[in-house]
Structure 1
Amino acid sequence: MGPIGVTEPDKAKQLADLEARIKAAKGGGESRAHQEEHYSMAQHGWRMVTELVAGLGIGFGIGYGLDSLFGTLPIFLVLFTLLGFVAGVKTMMRSAAELQKGQSAQEAGEDERTNDGN
């Protein structure tokens, strides 16, 4: 039994109001998903930059080491720095392809969900 003076229709109305407020509160989650997606894109961007810099750094280090070891002009330094740059760009392109593949798979999954609802 409920409190005195509260009828069943009043309880139903209160429950409906509560459900409406819950739905309104959950509607704010869409902006969070967009922010998380944006943050994820920033992470991918930094990953690609790091891959490029790492390739350059490793190539520079190997070239400098070989030049020091052999006492040559900066031939190896230039050669391995360029090879490191090429390796970094190649790794960046592979990461970009993975990201694009993941996004197209995610979009295909969203399309399937929207088509199932029709």
Structure 2
Amino acid sequence: MAQDDKRAETGDLASRISKAQSERISVRAARALRRNEMTGVGRAFRLASEFIAAIIMGAALGFGLDALFGTRPWFLVALLLLGFAAGVLNVVRATSELNRMTADTAKGVPAVTDDEDD
């Protein structure tokens, strides 16, 4: 009879373990999502580099064309403004891409339950 009690306790323990593991699937999925997601600082550096790179390229091309044709500062000013516009466009495109990636990865992930308020 003692053997039957031990088996019942073991069976109960196994069912509790499987229940706890199934409840933790959502936590594991949320952790996996966070691992694949870019951090806020990463997003800021990407957007800043997209913006600054376009402005620097516009200024460099404008300076080079001014030196080549001797028309200082007309090409520099024109291409600097064009680089600024291209930088803004790059930031808008990158932001929409990052938002789309975040929305696509979050579709299949269940919400994390909060057990601390019970």
TM-score higher than 0.5: yes
CA gap 1:63/1:42 in 2 versus in 1, 3 angstroms: same
- 1:51 CA drift (Å): 1.4
Provide the residue aligned with 2:86 in structure 1. Answer: 87
Provide the residue aligned with 1:76 in structure 2. Answer: 75
Unaligned runs of 5+ in 1: none
- Matched length: 108
Provide the residue aligned with 1:66 in structure 2. Answer: 65
Q: Which has the higher contact order (CA 8 A, sep 6+)?
A: 2
1:67-105 superposed Cα distances (whole Å, 9 cap, x missing partner): 111222222112111110101101211222334445566
TM-score for the superposition, normalised by structure 1 = 0.63
Unaligned runs of 5+ in 2: 112-118
- 1:35 CA drift (Å): 4.2
- Rounded Cα–Cα distance in structure 2 between residues aligned with 1:35 and 1:100: 14
- Rounded Cα–Cα distance in structure 1 between residues aligned with 2:37 and 2:103: 16
Provide the residue aligned with 2:96 in structure 1. Answer: 97
Provide the residue aligned with 1:55 in structure 2. Answer: 54
Provide the residue aligned with 2:116 in structure 1. Answer: none
- Rounded Cα–Cα distance in structure 2 between residues aligned with 1:88 and 1:20: 52
SS of match in other structure, 2:14:
helix
TM-score for the superposition, normalised by structure 2 = 0.63
Q: Which amino acid aligns with 1:86?
A: A
SS of match in other structure, 2:72:
coil
Which segment is superposed worse, 38-47 or 78-87? 38-47
SS of match in other structure, 2:38:
helix
Provide the residue aligned with 1:12 in structure 2. Answer: 11
CA RMSD in angstroms, aligned pairs only: 3.5
Higher helix share: 1
